[in-house]
């Protein structure tokens, strides 16, 4: 029978006494079927747990010497370990001053993108992101581009593009659905506000660069 | 009327009044220090900073805590027993301060021509006085738990009562060895008797037993069963809030300071320095405070290390291990003292 590494075999020990003390419960080592037959033949009214009984392995109860050793020497060892932690550097990240660095693929607040050369918006107002959104938090109202008023290179553009951040679950399906990579998940995670209506992000807010860049960490860190 | 206890040194009445004020003021200042030290050290033991927002290095945190508690409503559960409910925290705080008055911070000093003992009072029954007030302090816990009219408070108080009674015996017996060796009950006398060697060395077993029992007496980890949050919400002070809770809290930490002071006085040679160094008299209180801070550090260190005992473990440890050891220690000391004299 496999025993825990530090558990010595009980020398005429308490483990044996505990097992034999309960006569009603068959030993797990004995065949469960045999025990059940025996119970039926004997006409015993007690419930037969059958094969559900498992034997709990216990370390032998410590004697006086080992008990004293455990009380004092092991306590001292524990004190030493704790003092070791005292000398180690602290792991606290002091949040408002010091921000947790995120991985490059972290899914934070969304960003809308423009073409870098022309400055036109990548979004063509197709509403595929809104269709993909499981939380139903994206609202897109498309409008026609005209030669005088050209916002995106496509036929149409998003006249209204709103994301309700209090509903968003940051699953990233919008990013996957977008055929033009117009919307991606950014790195900002500080999205608290005092008013729910302030959490509805408009197109201008999503297009703008974040006020403060979230620190990034490398894959190895 | 017969004399109950002799007072070691008589001072003019105005010195006594000033000393009473100073003892209370010093005790009042030590408790916030212990509070911030505990939270800071627990933080360091767990790899974090601890409070560091209020004031420089978070040093004003206890002030903020106390102010918060004192400005809260003094509520009272409908099932509570009015007068006792208000009285219980007062008993706790009074007994803690009374015990603090006994700790000697130095010998009799000549301050501007007036002879002043650097302690609240030096009675000829020092340890008995301490244990008497320890026993009254238990009323503070018991009455508080009972008069709250809440089962959690009551269970916490019952545990506290059983624990205090069990460990007070061992604590007292651990001191008997020292008293036999010093042949005096005056705490300053015990300190003076340690001029050759601190009782830490010859009474090492007594020191360890006393320290262990003191953890239980002050309801500190690993014996903090009276306030086992997981089982009892908060223990005997569950129903208390605001200033009354602050009183309990204050008494608890003042008890830690008092026990540190007693250990310093009885086992660590009080204001004495080893190797025959005799600094001027004004250094004595700082020596005592330094030694007390070491013991307080040990209290916090142990709290960060050991998990809480189960109730039956607590009882069996107190009665089956600590009490026989303490009895044996007192007996062996008595035999050795009789044999050598």
Q: Locate the chain B residue with the closest alpha carbon to A97.
A: B53
Q: Do B301 and A90 touch (CB under 8 A)?
A: no
How far apart CA B66 and CA B289 sit, in angstroms, is 23
Q: Do B49 and A92 touch (CB under 8 A)?
A: yes
Q: Which of A82, A90, A92 sits opposite B305 (nearest CB)?
A: A82
Q: Cβ distance B7 to B188 under 8 Å?
A: no
- Radius of gyration (C-alpha) of chain A in whole angstroms: 34
Q: Do A78 and B48 touch (CB under 8 A)?
A: no
Q: Do B302 and A79 touch (CB under 8 A)?
A: yes
How far apart CA A88 and CA B181 sit, in angstroms, is 43
Query: Which H helix or E strand runs over A139?
Result: strand A138-144
Q: What pLDDT score does A12 carry? A: 40
Q: Locate the chain A residue with the closest alpha carbon to B50.
A: A92
Residue B158 tokens, joined: 């019952």
Q: What separation in angstroms does the CA of B128 have from each of B7, B83, B123, B168?
A: 14, 29, 10, 12
Q: Cβ distance B89 to B248 under 8 Å?
A: yes
How far apart CA A155 and CA A145 sit, in angstroms, is 6
Q: What pLDDT score does A135 carry? A: 92
How far apart CA B158 and CA B166 sit, in angstroms, is 12
Task: Output the tens digit of pLDDT for each of chain A's 221 residues.
Answer: 444 444 444 444 444 444 444 444 444 444 444 444 444 445 567 778 788 888 888 877 777 778 777 777 888 888 998 888 888 888 888 888 888 888 888 898 899 999 988 888 899 999 999 999 999 999 999 999 888 888 888 889 999 999 999 999 999 999 999 998 999 998 888 888 899 999 999 998 888 887 777 788 876 66
HSE-up (13 A, CA, CB side) for residue A159: 9
Q: What pLDDT score does A134 carry? A: 94
Q: Which of A75, A85, A92 sits opposite B306 (nearest CB)?
A: A75
- Radius of gyration (C-alpha) of chain B in whole angstroms: 20
How far apart CA B60 and CA B33 sit, in angstroms, is 10
Q: What separation in angstroms does the CA of B116 have from each of A42, B111, B123?
A: 88, 7, 15
Burial label, B66 (beta-carbon count in 10 A; 0-12, 13-18, 19+): middle
Question: How confident is the model over B23-35, as a mean pLDDT?
Answer: 85
Q: What are B55-86's pLDDT values in tens digits?
A: 888 888 888 988 998 898 888 888 888 788 88
Looking at chain A, how many residues does it have? 221
Q: Do A79 and B301 touch (CB under 8 A)?
A: yes
Q: Cβ distance B300 to B37 under 8 Å?
A: yes
Provide the ipTM. 0.72
Q: Which of B3, B5, B8 is nearest to B189 (CA)?
A: B8
Q: Which chain A residues touch B45 with a CB distance below 8 Å? A: 82-83, 85-86
Q: Which chain B residues touch A90 with a CB distance below 8 Å? A: 43-44, 47-49
Q: Do B301 and A82 touch (CB under 8 A)?
A: yes
B237 beta partners = none
Q: Which of B248, B308, B251, B292 is nearest to B86 (CA)?
A: B248
For CA atoms B117, B119, B120, B124, give the dihedral sign.
Answer: negative
State how far residue A118 is from chain B, nearest Cα, in angstroms.
49
Q: Which of A78, A85, A89 sits opposite B306 (nearest CB)?
A: A78
Determine how many CB atoms are found less than 10 A away from the CB of residue B102.
Answer: 23
Q: Do A91 and B48 touch (CB under 8 A)?
A: yes
DSSP string for residues in B292-310: HHHHHHHHHHHHHHPPPPP
Q: Which of B47, B49, B301 sits opposite A88 (nearest CB)?
A: B47
**Which of A66, A85, A93, A96 to mutate to test binding with chain B, by most B CBs within 10 Å of its CB?**
A85
Q: What are A92-144's pLDDT values in tens digits?
A: 888 888 888 888 888 988 999 999 888 888 999 999 999 999 999 999 999 99
Q: What are B233-270's pLDDT values in tens digits?
A: 777 888 888 888 888 888 888 889 999 999 998 998 88
Determine how many CB atoms are found less than 10 A away from the CB of residue A1.
Answer: 7
B55: left (phi over 0), alpha (psi -120 to 50) or beta: left
Instruction: Give the distance from CA A210 to its chain's centroid.
Output: 26
State how far residue A6 is from chain B, nearest Cα, in angstroms.
21
How far apart CA A51 and CA A169 sit, in angstroms, is 46
Q: What pLDDT score does B2 carry? A: 57
Q: What pLDDT score does A175 carry? A: 92
Q: Which chain B residues touch A94 with a CB distance below 8 Å? A: 49, 52
Instruction: Give the distance from CA A22 to its chain's centroid.
Output: 44
**A115-A121-A124 Cα angle (round to 5):** 125
Q: Do B47 and A85 touch (CB under 8 A)?
A: yes
Interface residue ranges in chain A relative to chain B, Cβ cutoff 8 Å: 67, 71-72, 75, 78-79, 81-83, 85-86, 88-92, 94
Instruction: Give the distance from CA B283 to its chain's centroid.
Output: 23
Q: Cβ distance B147 to B46 under 8 Å?
A: no
Q: Which chain A residues touch B43 with a CB distance below 8 Å? A: 90
Q: Which chain B residues touch A83 with a CB distance below 8 Å? A: 45, 301
Q: Locate the chain B residue with the closest alpha carbon to A75.
A: B306
Q: Do A91 and B47 touch (CB under 8 A)?
A: yes
Q: Which of B230, B209, B228, B233 is nearest to B317 (CA)?
A: B209
Strands A183-185 and A156-164: unpaired
Instruction: Give the distance from CA B247 to its chain's centroid.
Output: 15
Provide the 3-class DSSP secondary structure of residue B110.
strand
Question: How confident is the model over B16-41, as a mean pLDDT?
Answer: 86
Q: Which of B46, B208, B302 sits opposite A85 (nearest CB)?
A: B46
State how far residue B285 is from chain A, nearest Cα, in angstroms.
28
Q: Which chain B residues touch A66 with a CB distance below 8 Å? A: none
Q: Do B45 and A86 touch (CB under 8 A)?
A: yes
- Check residue A200 and report its DSSP letter: E
Q: Do B45 and A88 touch (CB under 8 A)?
A: no
For CA atoms A10, A60, A63, A78, give the dihedral sign.
Answer: positive
Q: Do B47 and A90 touch (CB under 8 A)?
A: yes
Q: Is the peptide bond before B222 cis (omega within 30 degrees of 0)?
A: yes
**Which of B46, B209, B307 to mutate to test binding with chain A, by most A CBs within 10 Å of its CB?**
B46
**Which of B48, B51, B304, B307 to mutate to test binding with chain A, by most A CBs within 10 Å of its CB?**
B304
């Amino acid at each position: 029978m496999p025993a825990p590494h530090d558990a010595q075999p009980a020398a005429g020990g308490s483990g044996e006494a505990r097992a034999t003390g309960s006569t009603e419960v068959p030993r797990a080592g004995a065949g469960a079927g045999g025990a059940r037959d025996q119970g039926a033949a004997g006409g015993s009214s007690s419930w037969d747990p059958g094969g559900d009984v498992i034997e709990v392995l216990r370390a032998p109860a410590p004697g006086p010497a080992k008990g004293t050793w455990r009380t004092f020497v092991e306590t001292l060892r524990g004190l030493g370990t704790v003092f070791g932690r005292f000398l180690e550097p602290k792991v606290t990240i002091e949040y408002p001053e010091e921000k947790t660095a995120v991985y490059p693929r972290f899914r934070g607040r969304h960003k809308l993108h423009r073409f870098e050369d022309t400055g036109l918006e990548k979004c063509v107002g197709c509403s595929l992101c809104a269709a993909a959104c499981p939380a139903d938090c994206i609202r897109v109202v498309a409008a026609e581009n005209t030669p005088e008023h050209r916002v995106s290179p496509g036929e149409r553009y998003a006249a209204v593009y709103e994301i309700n951040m209090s509903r968003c679950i940051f699953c990233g399906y919008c990013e996957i659905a977008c055929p033009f990579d117009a919307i991606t998940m950014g790195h900002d995670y500080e999205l608290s506000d005092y008013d729910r209506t302030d959490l509805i992000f408009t197109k201008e807010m999503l297009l703008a660069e974040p006020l403060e860049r979230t620190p990034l960490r490398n894959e190895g860190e | 009327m017969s004399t109950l206890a002799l007072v070691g040194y008589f001072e003019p009445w105005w010195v006594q009044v000033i000393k009473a004020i100073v003892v209370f003021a010093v005790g009042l200042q030590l408790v916030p220090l212990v509070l911030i030290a505990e939270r800071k050290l627990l933080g360091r033991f767990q790899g974090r900073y601890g409070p560091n927002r209020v004031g420089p290095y978070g040093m004003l945190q206890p002030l903020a805590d106390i102010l918060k508690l004192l400005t809260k409503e003094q509520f009272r559960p409908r099932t509570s027993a009015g007068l006792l409910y208000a009285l219980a925290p007062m008993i706790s705080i009074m007994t803690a301060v009374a015990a603090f008055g006994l700790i000697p911070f130095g010998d009799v000093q000549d301050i501007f021509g007036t002879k002043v003992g650097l302690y609240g009072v030096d009675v000829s029954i020092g340890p008995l006085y301490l244990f008497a007030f320890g026993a009254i302090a238990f009323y503070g816990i018991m009455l508080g738990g009972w008069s709250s009219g809440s089962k959690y408070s009551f269970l916490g108080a019952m545990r506290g009562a059983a624990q205090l009674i069990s460990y007070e015996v061992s604590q007292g017996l651990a001191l008997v060895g020292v008293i036999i060796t010093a042949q005096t009950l005056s705490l300053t006398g015990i300190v003076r008797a340690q001029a050759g060697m601190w009782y830490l060395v010859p009474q090492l077993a007594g020191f360890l037993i006393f320290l262990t029992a003191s953890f239980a007496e002050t309801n500190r980890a690993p014996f903090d069963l009276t306030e086992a949050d997981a089982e009892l919400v908060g223990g005997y002070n569950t129903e208390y809030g605001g200033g009354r809770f602050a009183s309990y809290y204050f008494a608890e930490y003042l008890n830690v300071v008092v026990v540190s002071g007693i250990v310093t006085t009885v086992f660590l040679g009080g204001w004495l320095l080893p190797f025959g160094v005799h600094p001027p008299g004004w250094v004595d209180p700082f020596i005592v405070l330094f030694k007390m801070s070491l013991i307080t550090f040990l209290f916090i260190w142990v709290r960060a290390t050991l998990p809480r005992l189960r109730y039956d473990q607590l009882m069996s440890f107190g009665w089956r291990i600590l009490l026989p050891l303490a009895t044996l220690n007192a007996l062996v000391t008595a035999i050795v003292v009789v044999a050598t004299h």
